[in-house]
Each structure stands twice: as structure tokens, then as C-alpha cells.
Amino acid sequence: MADATALGVPVSAELAEDWVDRWERQQERYAVEREERFTVITDAVEQVVGSRERPLIVDLGSGPGSLAARISARLKHAEIVAVDIDPLLLALGRVHHREAARYVEVVIGQADWLKALALDRPVDAVVSTTALHYPSAGALLGIYRDLAGALRPGGILVNGDHLVPEEPELAALATAVGRRRAGRRGVDEIEDWSAWWTAIGRIPEFTHLLAARERQLPPCEGDGNGLSAAQHGELLREAGFRQVGSVWQYGISSVLVALR
């Protein structure tokens, strides 16, 4: 596991702020009502674990700490572990959102991946946003089983993601609703994912982190597993969660919760 310091690449606060701000704007293209989705995720976590003295929260696929920072701002007494495979995004988070979380570089779902998080007690909540649509159904079942074992009884998993209905006509309708909303907000004019990565690739301070990223990240295969909320629910129940359901949705942008 490497961070910016270990790689000998100092990332200034100003540089990190600039690129995290651009990341936030870029991500608006891909999640309908992204800020509201973050708010709903935080609401769910606060409702279930907010009264605990020092709730332990794990953020899966944290990127530069976008969700972790929002939860930390609300639940200042929480301890958050932000987990991602991407060394560059983690480096940005460690600088720009350094107080929000402890950042860990690990491949989610690999053998003994939870040990790399160095957790000292059962987890109170697991959160994720736009990350759990990548693993295959089989890999995701293993991840959900690992998380069920790490969560305390009564703990919660909250997943904000693109969850398309299984029925083709409903899927098309939900997608269209989201696109219409995005169009009204003018997101098509925002810098996209590819443009963001192309632009950051021109910054000399990120050369070593980008090289580490190329070595770390597996080849991208398609747009993800395509699992619906119902299919996620089946996997979560099989993994040991007792109740699963959606608490918010706009188009295909959904928040799914599972109680341990």
C-alpha cells in the first residue's frame, strides 16, 4: 500500500483542492441528484449509528473521500475508514480530506482484505457510492459475506448506486427519467470522466501516482455487473443480512440499505 509520501510525490493542499473540486463536478454527470443521494446515505447512517459513542464506519470505493467527508461533517464523533484501490484518488483524499477518514489502499474482496483495514472492533456501518456495481455477482456475494461478518448485530450497509430495474421497459423509463433530470441541470456540459483523467495526466506532480495506478488497477470490463436492487437484495440476504430494501430513488440512482 502506497501513499503520496511513500511514492516521493508531494501533493500540495492547493493542488489537491483543485483536482478534488474538479472530481466533484465531473461526478455530477454520472449520478442523478448526487448531493441528495449523499444526504440520504448520511441520514440512514446517522439514524442507525449516530447515537453510538464512537461509531466505526467503512467507506468502500471511497475515491478522494467525497462521501466520507460529508459523513464526517455530520457525525464528527465517528471514525471512518476510506477504502479504495486507486492510489491517486486516495492521495488526493489524504491531503484534501485528511481529517475526514483514515485512507487504506486495498483491493476490495481479495483474500483477507478486511485484515488490511486494521479494524479494532466490529463495524457499525458500511457505506458505498457508485462502486459495488463493478464486482461480479459471485465476487459481490463474497464481499457481502465478509461485511456481514465484520458488522455488529444491528449494523447497517448503505449502498448508493446505479440500480436498473430488471424489467426492460421499466429500466428504459427509469433511465430516461434520470437523463431528463440531468439534461435540465446541464450536466452534459460538465467535464467527463475521460477528460478529467486526461487532464490530470498532464500534471507532473501526479506522474508517479498515475504509474502506480496503472500497475494497481485491473482492466476495466464493461459497465459493471448490471445487478438490480432486487438481485443485490438476494445476495445480501444470502450473505446474512436480515432486512434489505430501497429508501430512495431517482431514475436509476438508488440508495439500498441492508440491516445486519
pLDDT tens, residue by residue, 227-254: 999 999 999 999 999 999 999 999 999 9
Q: Cell for 15?
A: 493542488
Q: How confident is the model at residue 1 (pLDDT cuts 50, 70, 90)?
A: very low
Q: Cell for 111?
A: 483474500
**Residue 60 phi, psi (nearest 5):** -90, 135
Residue 111: burial class (beta carbons within 10 Å; 0-12, 13-18, 19+): exposed
Q: Which pLDDT score is estimated for 9? A: 54
pLDDT digits (tens, 9 = 90+) for 108-131: 999 999 999 999 999 999 999 999
CA-based nearest residue to 185, from 35, 23, 18? 35
Distance from C-alpha of 241 to C-alpha of 198, rounded to nearest angstrom: 41
Whether 122 contacts 155, CB under 8 Å: yes
Q: How far is CA 35 from CA 38, 67, 99, 125, 207, in A?
A: 5, 10, 21, 20, 31
Q: Which pLDDT score is estimated for 6? A: 43
pLDDT digits (tens, 9 = 90+) for 78-103: 999 999 999 999 999 999 999 999 99
Place of cell 437523463: 179
Q: How confident is the model at residue 203 (pLDDT cuts 50, 70, 90)?
A: very high
Whether 174 contacts 254, CB under 8 Å: no
* The amino acid at 136: S
- List the domains of the chain with CATH numbers: 13-259 (3.40.50.150)
**Residue 157 phi, psi (nearest 5):** -115, 130
State the helix-helix crossing angle for 13-27 and 66-74, rounded to 10 degrees.
Answer: 100
Q: Which pLDDT score is estimated for 222? A: 56
Q: Which pLDDT score is estimated for 184? A: 92
Q: How confident is the model at residue 7 (pLDDT cuts 50, 70, 90)?
A: very low
CA-based nearest residue to 79, from 52, 41, 112? 52
Q: Which pLDDT score is estimated for 5? A: 44
